[in-house]
Chain A
Amino acid sequence: MRYLPLSGADREIMLGRIGVSAVDALFADAPPECLRDQAPDLPRRKGEMAVERALGRLAARNVSAGSVPFFLGAGAYRHHVPATVDHLIQRSEFLTSYTPYQPEIAQGTLQYLFEFQTQVAALTGMEVANASMYDGSTACAEAVLMAQRITRRKRAVLSGGLHPHYADVTHTVCGFAGDSITSLPPDVAASEDIISQIGPDTSCVVVQSPDVFGNLRDLAPIAEAAHRAGALLVAVVTEAVSFGLLTSPGAQGADIVVAEGQSIGNALNFGGPYVGLFAARSKFVRQMPGRLCGATVDAEGRRGFVLTLSAREQHIRRDKATSNICTNSGLCCLAFTIHMTLLGGHGLRQLARINHANAVALADRLAALPGVSVLNRSFFNEFTVKLAGRDAAEVVERLAACGVLGGVPVSRLLPGAGLDDLLLVASTEVNTDEDRAALADALAAVLGEIAAC
């Protein structure tokens, strides 16, 4: 087996040194009736070519986003990732290292974590950021738990514009942890009155902008109302490129900002691995979950970095920890950091402008089709389309049959909510005019029952 360096002769010598005659003697503590004398009933080993064939066949059964005009978003976005990013994250010393518990030989990881934290704090408009979470949805649930620790209150209010998966994860985690969650109904028009839901028992309000329907939300009045009531505002962002063009959640008064960072540096990956961004006001830093990297000096006075404030964490505090998390999303946050390094603030703004311009062009194009209306007053790179009287899921299936991946039907995220005629459509920098024309033509054909494709 190509991955196993020990030879039969090596094994014999090693058994001799140990003083046993067979390896099973080392398994003597296992109940004899449970120790299996045969290899498991699974296929035999395969060489590289055979594995490539087997997995290549499975990969070929998927329609990859790059092979068709593609307009899906809803929390996962297709952006161009520079070649530099994927090369660098495959450097052995990044790819095959562990959590930097021995900082003298992990300064590479620690320094990029420090740079990541700085970038995330700047993008979100906050004072501190951690070294990343599993993804945006788990970061959202952790933010609600954190707000509960800070305010010592037990009721969180979730906006009806929050991504339904984020709401479900938050309900699940916080429900088990004993919190009560008030979820507002799906809010397609961004017209909900969330402020009236804030009461003296409210730990936080959770508002996403751009929301899951693409609307931009003015967070400032919500932050003000929350603060008046002693509650926190948790802002959620699922499209990190939007940080380049929009007023930051921090500038609008958010206390905790969580985001999905996939859009910057990371591929779609069928939903994971992604990278959760988590930022807050510095006065809350000791209540934050996850790892934090901090600057310090070595014995010779040289600057270096270490994991710090670990008195919050499970390996020290055990059942008193702020969270049970003991990992971050290291390599994905490295990809984020490298892509952000290439972009900088100006590059990100330009990238965001291109996204917005493409989405505006697509919205105008689709709105001109009979039976199609764009519901958003404002949006960044994604908006909601109403297909009068048509089932959006069925339309999407038929678009796929025409070779266009045309969006996410709202019913996929909110089945049974009576929103079956709504379609979420995103357009990023990867879409061309030809792509937009292909979607418009295919949609017109499907809606007009024309067998055009």
Chain B
Amino acid sequence: MLNRQGRPTIAAGDAPVVASAAEHHTFTGNRALQQIEPLLFEIGSTERCGVDLDEPAPFTARLGALEAAAPVDLPALSEPETMRHFVRLSQKNYGIDTGMFPLGSCTMKHNPRLNERMARLPGFADVHPLQPVATVQGALAVMDQLAHWLLTLTGMPAVALSPKAGAHGELLGLMAIKAAIAASGEGATRNVVLVPESAHGTNPATAALLGFRVKSVPAREDGAVHLDDVAGLLGPDVAAIMLTNPNTCGLFEPQIVEIAAALHAAGGYFYCDGANFNAIVGKVRPGDLGVDAMHINLHKTFSTPHGGGGPGAGPVVLSERLAPFAPVPFVRRGADGQFALVEQAGEGDAAQAFGRLTAFHGQMGMYVRALSFMLSHGGEGLRQASEDAVLSANYVRASLADLLTTPFGDRPCMHEALFDDAWLKDTGVTTLDIAKALIDEGFHPMTVYFPLVVHGAMLIEPTESESKVSLDLFIAAMRDLAMAVKRGDVERFTGAPRHAPLRRLDETRAARQPVLRWTRPQPVA
């Protein structure tokens, strides 16, 4: 795929690059601000370096026989080249700061830069996790304050901060449940986890990883999980249910309190997937619903940046019954007001702790950002944010309901509006085409084909960060697309995107002939 000048060339059978009909060729292949950027390995060299490093004073190596004979074969770029390389790459990305990013289930809200500044204070960023605790009292105070906000907002008695993502939090919650069941002597028999068909894929994956048998709770036509369906599956073998609330269809589960009570009566636990907590902060406390464990995605609800796929943070709030099994480490405040870290399972406060889920103490950088977000909003601001998120989603729903189709009728949604593809039937246009056409209109697409229980799902989560002007433009664009579908302008969709840096990518080829790293081109013999 590469020629010897190090430029990416055309891959498929040396066919020439064909510009889209509306475009002109350029000599370089660049198009003004859209620049082709080779891989760094194609423009770098092993002769260059972007860092000036002095020669150390003479020393006698103590590496035994394990010193490598030669440097690792990786090219470098000088500093200006590095800057340009990554700035150009950044320009091929869509972020929240670029425009509306209504990716359902992902809560792409504004990321305040104040939070970045706070996380970079040397007192937080330049602190080692194993310093004497007397030298990190401020860091432990951040963890303590974050815990206080999370407990107050959820109405729960305990929180474990260390998980590094939502799925990592699920792992923690189900481990605590498994540990509690083992402690009660039912470990051998209570081994089923109920998961609704509408659940995030991480839910069944987590349960299966821990050796639970996954039983599916069927989807109903109204998008809700029904008490009858759950009750029919309950028994002495059921360890827990994993229920998302508000659920992935964008609805508050109407029977959630009854389902929790039924679970508890049958000796099981209620794990709540808190991915959609942004809909109810300051409005409903999960603790009042009967939740035993719930992870909170700090990178969703509390705005720590998604960063192109991480790092996240997924603290888990726990009920009284599960709290003793929380893993190490955790922070304790002594009578003298000094904070201590409990780092060893099996001792003292951590006598029943089930173990450890990560080295050190979790995502400190994310704790600072989330706390900065909370302090900025205050209690009433967080409540207002959730109300605005729900209001905006319903505004989108109400503004599109006459042209698109909704799977669950005209009922209000929570913070995300769900449409199906019934309105696309026999048009030649698919949900994926709508997503790609939205790219051309300057928006990031909504979540598509999730939840799985809704055919051709389009899940739109505007969040509280969009202005009315922005919402109106999105609505107008969606209405225009819908009208184009009805007019039969199929070409606009199947050819999209036309204005992105690349056209649609061949995912089948990527999976069939995996190329997962660059390799140095061999000289032609």
Contacts and interface: CB of A to CB of B under 8 A. Distances in A.
Given A348-B72, A356-B59, A19 B398 contact: yes
Contact of B310 (A54, A128, A328): A328
B330 to A, nearest CB: 14
A229 interface: no
Given A36-B285, A45-B380, A315 B201 contact: yes
Interface in B54-76: 54-57, 59-68, 71-76
Given A43-B379, A60-B123, A331-B310, A270 B211 contact: no
A62 B137 contact: yes
Nearest to A20: B412
Nearest to A66: B126
A437 interface: no
A25 B103 contact: no
Nearest to A13: B468
B215 to A, nearest CB: 10
Contacts of A327: 165-167, 309-312
A228 interface: no
A119 interface: yes
Given A72-B128, A246-B67, A349-B71, A311 B511 contact: yes
Contact of B168 (A75, A138, A319): A138
Nearest to B511: A308
A376 interface: yes
A354 B59 CA distance: 10
B507 A353 contact: no
Which of A19, A30, A89, A285: most chain B Cβ within 10 A? A30
Contact of A341 (B40, B175, B391): B40
Given A271-B359, A302-B502, A345-B71, A55 B91 contact: no
A156 interface: no
Interface in B28-76: 37, 39-41, 44, 46-51, 53-57, 59-68, 71-76
Contacts of B390: 23, 26-27
B268 interface: no
Contacts of A43: 375, 378-379
Contacts of A173: 171, 357
A169 to B, nearest CB: 5
Nearest to A400: B132
Given A172-B327, A327-B166, 15 more contacts: A5-B465, A36-B283, A40-B382, A95-B97, A104-B501, A111-B89, A169-B355, A272-B362, A273-B365, A300-B18, A308-B511, A326-B166, A330-B306, A341-B76, A350-B53
A182 interface: no
Contact of B130 (A26, A64, A321, A412): A412
A44 interface: yes
B395 interface: yes
Interface in A85-99: 86-99
A358 B62 CA distance: 12
A396 B133 CA distance: 11
B79 A342 contact: yes
29 contacts: A4-B381, A14-B468, A18-B391, A26-B394, A27-B284, A40-B152, A43-B375, A50-B375, A55-B375, A61-B138, A75-B360, A76-B128, A76-B360, A88-B82, A95-B95, A115-B41, A247-B68, A270-B128, A270-B136, A285-B514, A295-B515, A295-B516, A314-B202, A326-B200, A326-B202, A340-B74, A343-B49, A343-B50, A350-B53
Contacts of B18: 300-301
B114 A104 contact: no
A405 interface: yes
A317 interface: yes
Contact of B89 (A27, A107, A272, A318): A107
Nearest to B442: A105
Determine which residue in B79, B164, B384 has the highest number of CB atoms from chain A within 10 A of its CB, and name it: B164
A449 interface: no
A397 B465 CA distance: 47
Q: What 6 A-B pairs come out closest when comparing CB atoms?
A: A344-B76, A59-B123, A271-B360, A172-B355, A61-B138, A271-B129
A177 B253 CA distance: 31
B10 A94 contact: no
Contact of A98 (B50, B87, B306): B306
A304 to B, nearest CB: 5
Given A98-B308, A272-B364, A326 B63 contact: no
B202 A3 contact: no
Interface in A393-450: 396-397, 400, 405, 408, 412-413, 415, 429
A248 B377 CA distance: 49
Contacts of B514: 285, 292, 294, 308-309
Contact of A104 (B327, B439, B465): B439
A443 to B, nearest CB: 15
A191 B54 CA distance: 36
B354 interface: yes
A193 interface: no
Given A115-B41, A348-B71, A326 B59 contact: no
B93 A99 contact: no
Interface string B73-106: 1111101001101110111111111100101001
Nearest to A379: B62
Given A216-B63, A245-B63, A306-B510, A39 B379 contact: yes
Contacts of B95: 92-97
A46 B364 contact: no
A41 B155 CA distance: 11
B92 A111 contact: yes
A338 interface: yes
A74 interface: yes
Given A17-B398, A102-B94, A338 B251 contact: no
A40 B153 contact: yes
B427 interface: no
A296 B202 CA distance: 27
Interface stretch (B228-236, B366-374, B476-484): B366-374
Given A13-B468, A136-B359, A272-B361, A298 B503 contact: yes
Contacts of A269: 119, 124-125, 127, 364-365
A439 to B, nearest CB: 15
Interface string B103-119: 10010101110101111
A109 to B, nearest CB: 4
A82 B51 CA distance: 8
A163 interface: yes
Contacts of A97: 93-96, 306-308
A137 B356 CA distance: 10
A329 B465 CA distance: 25
A151 interface: no
A96 B305 contact: yes
A129 interface: yes
B284 A82 contact: no
**Considering residues A34, A104, A169, A305, which has the most beta carbons from chain B within 10 angstroms of its beta carbon?**
A104
A299 B494 CA distance: 11
Contacts of A95: 95, 97, 111, 116, 305, 307
Contact of A319 (B72, B76, B205, B399): B205
Contact of B139 (A209, A267, A270): A270
Contacts of A345: 46, 71-76
Contacts of A117: 516-517
A132 to B, nearest CB: 8
A104 B48 contact: no
A319 B64 contact: no
A218 B364 CA distance: 35
Contact of B53 (A78, A293, A354): A354
A36 B282 contact: yes
B66 A107 contact: no
B127 A338 contact: no
Contacts of A136: 359
